[in-house]
Structure 1
Amino acid sequence: MTTTVSRVRAAYARIEAVDRPEIWIDLRPQEEAEAEARAIDARAAAGEHLPLAGRLLAAKGNIDVYGLPTTAGCPAYAYDPEADAPVVARLRAAGALVLGTTNLDQFATGLVGTRSPYGAVRSAHDPERISGGSSSGSAVAVALGLVDLALGTDTAGSGRVPAAFNGIVGLKPTRGLVPTSGVVPACASIDCLTVFARTLPEAEQALSFMASPPARTLPALPQRTPGPWRIAVPPLSQLGELDEGWAEAYETAVAHLTEAGASLREIDLTPFTEAASMLYEGAFVAERYTAVGSFIDKLLSVGGDGLDPTVAGIITRARDIPAHRLFADQDRLATLRTRALTELSDADALLLPTTPGHPTLTEVAGDPLGANARLGRFTNSTNLFDLAAVAIPAGEVNGLPFGVMLMGPAFTDDHLTRIAALLQPRTRLAVVGAHLTGEPLNPQLLALGAHLDRTTTTAPVYRLHALQTTPPKPGLVHVGEGGAEIETEVWCLPAEGLGKLLTALPRPMTLGTVELTDGTRVPGFLCEPEALKMAEDITLYGSWRSYLKHRSAATHPTDE
């Protein structure tokens, strides 16, 4: 049995093995972490409900973790928090164990992961490339398997860019859904907390503990009409210059959604990209000076030791932005937001590449401001427009992770994760009975994000039997000669969903390979032969539905 203690020991061994000291600002002593792990194991053994027991957690260095200094990536700024930030406390209460605080672009100002006196955080897949920021250490700690979950922040894309570069999930919820108290602000009015995980279900589970009831009135969202998910996509010409192979990878992601049953809506991306440029080039950057500007001014007056020069320059320049410019930018942003939401009005989500490319450390060093601005082309507008978002892996380009991002209006978080699940590795499943459309167990498939791929028949090598189960279900058995074609639905579902079905599959049902009439083979529900001794052979009806219709007619004959 795997215990929290054994997982902690394995994590520290892996931390030593990967030798990436730039990931961490403060790593807890192993003995201390093991002591907390023993306490978690004891609580779980005593029957306490700890859904996250054994999950290892890292927190970005601008998030308060009791017992560790909060630095925001600047040693001179460090303070000892009096308590965990609420988001940390909630995850700990569910059984998660914090290993340490992670490196970041100083004061969460950047999308590159290199603006830190603690060192540039390198990509988990290529040490010559950036990790992405500002939540750099958190993302790489998850990608390298040092922790299961990590907390980041996302103001301009800091919870999505590093997720894309490191092949993991970055879930950025609706602004205000997760409290930001106990977090050093970047731009307090639009800051969001995010969670990194290697899979979407893990990120969703963590978010369920992090979130609070909405602190603001829920907007009146348009009523969604029935039908397939509607995905907004821009013309490729509006995406601008992308790295080699990225346009093709994006088109592949779009194709996967259409194959999964989604329908496409073309969108004008202009209001999104125009707003994106305003986040740093406009007056909104002045809020960063409000957060830490006076501290930076004071530190600069005595030499500026420990300040990243690019970050210091961005924040100090914001000091002199006139108030009238802020009001003008607010007016312009309101106009752009109206246009953007109008473009999204007939869509459930907007699908974009998370970034236009993945630069090297050398490229960022040569043009720190230009490289950073390019990375925010698709992410910068999200919080300005009050949107929810999720970044997910979508394959590889030239051996490196490629990621896409889904965005939607505030409080459409659940929709976005359900759509994102369609882009995860998927498999097919053949069903012939209680999981068919409209039958009692079909909701199990729908809850896993499955969709109907097609209706067909098996190859003529099976027989169908009515089992004595609750709810009633048939048993499909391969017999070879003497078989018949049986009506079959083929469903497409996440690969991990198939695993969940298998673990909950009751006897006498089994999972095997079903041969279809066109010769293809897919996983499907079969039956143990032993269960057929008392079961009626119903093969002659050709399908479970036909048998149920016959039985119903026999039980309730029509009056003549």
Structure 2
Amino acid sequence: MTTASMLAAPAPADLDDLPLGFPSIRAAIAQGADPVAIVLESRRRAGAIADEGVFTALVPEELVRAKAEEAAARARSGEALPLLGLTFSVKDNIHVAGMTTTANCPALAIEPRETSAAVLALEDAGAVLIGKNTLDQFATGLNGTRSPEPLCRNAVNPDYIPGGSSSGSAVAVARDVVAFSLGSDTGGSGRVPAACNGIVGIRPTIGLVSNRAVIFNSPFLDCIPIFARTIAEGNEILRTIAGFDALDPWSRRDADAIDVTPAAPESRRIAVPRRDQLRFFGDAEAEAAHDANLATLERLGFTLVEIDFAPFDEAGLLVFQSALVAERLVEYGDTLASRPDDVHPAVRASIEPGLAYSARDAFEALYRMRRFARFAEGALDGFAALVTPTIPTIYRIDEMLAEPMARNTVMGTYTYYVAPMDLCAVSVPGAPRGDGLPSAISVVGLAGKDGEVAGIAAAFEAGAAAG
């Protein structure tokens, strides 16, 4: 069915209860729902929670309406708009011309003239931006509490952390406010909040998606991840925004040749950490859920092979315990120096160590990163993927605030290593924990293996849903 013919059927009932997942929106449009009305319903939901710490700013309703009407007019003229009626939000370190970028630190306050290349690609496909999401300030943190009040809260249980740093991006999807969202991921910020809120988080190969018009933590490590309800939905967005960008010096020249479509892997062998190396920090519910998730993979016909996870742990230390931390000073150093009291104490404590590193330290860290990436190529040779828990446990907000540094580090146990080893990853929900909180696994592959990683994740998603 063409986009134009979808707009011609009888209209369905009230949109207040319409789930904003892709199939629901597309079915509603096929039955005659006005895509403009669907977009405005998403904007209404965002406005209803505007004071709950999920958004830093909303696109004005009149501009949302204008963008939606423009997309609908294009569709009626016969233009193919695969994302018609879908809405999205972006983390507030992604530039949108006309909206202030704060990285959740008002003292930063950048007024960008350029809109992110990823946002432009989504709008070209018919999607409409609803707002900018809260984050751990300066995208530094994995828990969601390193931000001004009101704190963003977990969509499943508000007593628990939402995960960070892309907290608002994940919660906006999990609370059915937008159809999908974008974040940024240095050490796990596109996967940890997805796991905490029971949704999908896709971290592409570095350079596969343009980072143009994004504030960096680390150009060497950063990418734009996607938050969605399902692997299919997230992967559709990845296909929309992936590709070579000649204006982005970090873009991969082979980006257009990387097939991100979910595909069955050539191997049925999956690497998993040795049992004695798995850490859940006393969380028996998390451990039991992970056992159930591994059983699902075995039921799907995968052979699980234990490998030594110690080198992956060691690689993860580079993200926050090496001279790579000094990269944050490129974007945030002036604000830290001129207005230190406007920087969250935990964020300041994470960034200030970068001041103590030398140029030699930085080169040594880069050399180590290259060695770890080469090690990963050999360690994962012959495997379809590496599978770990996405998070080892989940803390209540009061627990995180009581011990913000050590417990934040715990949240990155199974995510920090991915970027310095030049890997791609997908976090996908698994078996529910006994206490009702979500569990998740990370499916991790070598750079450029995004399609195979997605294929395994999709198979696991279906297997977990089937029980």
Q: How far has the Cα of 1:99 moved from its partner?
A: 0.3
- Quick one: which of 382, 388, 400 aligns to 1:364? 400
Distance 1:377 1:276 in 2: 8
What residue number does 1:448 align with?
none
Q: Deviations over 1:222-265 (max 9, x none)?
A: xx999652211112210123422212211211111121122222
Tell me, yes or no, if the aligned pair for 1:108 and 1:134 is still in contact at 8 Å.
yes
What residue number does 1:281 align with?
321
Helix, strand or coil: the match of 2:88?
Answer: strand
State the superposition RMSD in angstroms: 2.2
Structure 1 residue 322 corresponds to structure 2 residue 358 = yes
What residue number does 1:379 align with?
415
Tell me, yes or no, if the aligned pair for 2:52 and 2:151 is still in contact at 8 Å.
no
Distance 2:116 2:96 in 1: 6
Helix, strand or coil: the match of 1:77?
Answer: coil
Helix, strand or coil: the match of 1:26?
Answer: strand
Q: How far has the Cα of 1:64 moved from its partner?
A: 0.9
Match for 1:235: what amino acid? Answer: R
Question: Is the alpha carbon distance of 1:118 and 1:67 closer, same or farther for their aligned partners in structure 2, counting shifts above 3 Å?
Answer: farther
- Quick one: which of 354, 372, 379 aligns to 1:343? 379
Question: Is the alpha carbon distance of 1:138 and 1:341 closer, same or farther for their aligned partners in structure 2, counting shifts above 3 Å?
Answer: same
What residue number does 1:161 align with?
192
What residue number does 1:61 align with?
92
TM-score, normalised on structure 2? 0.86
Match for 1:369: what amino acid? Answer: M
Distance 2:116 2:212 in 1: 6
Distance 2:378 2:407 in 1: 30
What residue number does 1:45 align with?
76
Task: Identify which range, 27-36 or 191-200, moves more after superposition.
Answer: 27-36
Q: How far has the Cα of 1:217 moved from its partner?
A: 5.6
Q: How far has the Cα of 1:28 moved from its partner?
A: 1.6
Question: Is the alpha carbon distance of 1:126 and 1:289 closer, same or farther for their aligned partners in structure 2, counting shifts above 3 Å?
Answer: same
Distance 2:239 2:366 in 1: 33
Question: Is the alpha carbon distance of 1:63 and 1:31 closer, same or farther for their aligned partners in structure 2, counting shifts above 3 Å?
Answer: same
Q: Kindly report which structure 2 residues correspond to 1:299-448, keeping only aligned pairs within 5 A, or say none.
A: 299-300=339-340, 304=341, 306-397=342-433, 398-426=435-463
Distance 1:153 1:373 in 2: 18
Q: How far has the Cα of 1:11 moved from its partner?
A: 1.9
Q: How far has the Cα of 1:92 moved from its partner?
A: 0.3
What residue number does 1:538 align with?
none
Tell me, yes or no, if the aligned pair for 2:292 and 2:431 is still in contact at 8 Å.
no
Distance 1:182 1:233 in 2: 36
TM-score, normalised on structure 1? 0.72
Match for 2:279: what amino acid? Answer: G
What residue number does 2:6 align with?
none
Q: How far has the Cα of 1:406 moved from its partner?
A: 0.7
What residue number does 1:187 align with?
218
What residue number does 1:546 align with?
none
Question: Is the alpha carbon distance of 1:208 and 1:227 closer, same or farther for their aligned partners in structure 2, counting shifts above 3 Å?
Answer: closer
What residue number does 1:79 align with?
110
Q: How far has the Cα of 1:4 moved from its partner?
A: 2.1
Question: Is the alpha carbon distance of 1:35 and 1:186 closer, same or farther for their aligned partners in structure 2, counting shifts above 3 Å?
Answer: same
Task: Identify which range, 31-40 or 156-165, moves more after superposition.
Answer: 31-40
Q: Deviations over 1:509-554 (max 9, x none)?
A: xxxxxxxxxxxxxxxxxxxxxxxxxxxxxxxxxxxxxxxxxxxxxx
Question: Is the alpha carbon distance of 1:88 and 1:418 closer, same or farther for their aligned partners in structure 2, counting shifts above 3 Å?
Answer: same
Helix, strand or coil: the match of 1:183?
Answer: coil
Q: Kindly report which structure 2 residues correspond to 1:518-529, keeping only aligned pairs within 5 A, or say none.
A: none
Helix, strand or coil: the match of 1:233?
Answer: strand
Distance 1:101 1:413 in 2: 27
Match for 1:121: what amino acid? Answer: C
Task: Identify which range, 13-22 or 58-67, moves more after superposition.
Answer: 13-22
**Identical counterparts, % of pairs:** 38
Tell me, yes or no, if the aligned pair for 1:268 and 1:343 is still in contact at 8 Å.
no
Q: Kindly report which structure 2 residues correspond to 1:146-225, keeping only aligned pairs within 5 A, or say none.
A: 146-213=177-244, 215-216=252-253
Match for 1:241: what amino acid? Answer: F
Larger radius of gyration: 1
Tell me, yes or no, if the aligned pair for 1:59 and 1:65 is still in contact at 8 Å.
no
Q: Kindly report which structure 2 residues correspond to 1:11-22, keeping only aligned pairs within 5 A, or say none.
A: 11-17=42-48, 21-22=52-53
What residue number does 1:271 align with?
311
Structure 1 residue 144 corresponds to structure 2 residue 183 = no
Distance 2:93 2:204 in 1: 18
Structure 1 residue 230 corresponds to structure 2 residue 261 = no
Distance 1:415 1:425 in 2: 15
Tell me, yes or no, if the aligned pair for 1:267 and 1:344 is still in contact at 8 Å.
no
User: Counting strand residues as a fraction of each chain, which structure ranks higher?
Assistant: 1
Distance 1:342 1:181 in 2: 32
Distance 1:261 1:228 in 2: 11
Distance 1:246 1:181 in 2: 37
Helix, strand or coil: the match of 1:63?
Answer: coil
What residue number does 2:22 align with?
none
Match for 1:249: what amino acid? Answer: A
Tell me, yes or no, if the aligned pair for 2:88 and 2:178 is still in contact at 8 Å.
yes
Helix, strand or coil: the match of 2:201?
Answer: strand
Distance 1:121 1:226 in 2: 38
Distance 2:130 2:50 in 1: 16
Structure 1 residue 291 corresponds to structure 2 residue 331 = yes
Tell me, yes or no, if the aligned pair for 1:289 and 1:318 is still in contact at 8 Å.
yes
Q: Deviations over 1:466-497 (max 9, x none)?
A: xxxxxxxxxxxxxxxxxxxxxxxxxxxx88xx
Structure 1 residue 241 corresponds to structure 2 residue 280 = yes
Q: Deviations over 1:300-320 (max 9, x none)?
A: 3xxx3x321211222222112
Structure 1 residue 261 corresponds to structure 2 residue 301 = yes
Q: Deviations over 1:168-187 (max 9, x none)?
A: 11111000000111001111
Question: Is the alpha carbon distance of 1:227 and 1:84 closer, same or farther for their aligned partners in structure 2, counting shifts above 3 Å?
Answer: closer
Q: Deviations over 1:114-166 (max 9, x none)?
A: 11125321100111111001101000000000000100000000000000000
Q: How far has the Cα of 1:426 moved from its partner?
A: 4.5
Q: Name stretches of at least 5 consecutive residues in structure 1 with no aligned partner.
A: 428-493, 496-560
Match for 1:296: what amino acid? Answer: L
Distance 2:95 2:367 in 1: 35
Distance 1:400 1:133 in 2: 17
Match for 1:282: what amino acid? Answer: S
Task: Identify which range, 348-357 or 238-247, moves more after superposition.
Answer: 238-247
Distance 1:404 1:42 in 2: 41
- Tell me how many residue pairs correspond in the alignment: 422
Distance 2:66 2:182 in 1: 22
Q: Deviations over 1:396-444 (max 9, x none)?
A: 11101111101111000000000001111349xxxxxxxxxxxxxxxxx
Which protein, 1 or 2, shows the higher relative CO under an 8 Å CA cutoff with sep ≥ 6?
A: 2
Q: How far has the Cα of 1:31 moved from its partner?
A: 2.5
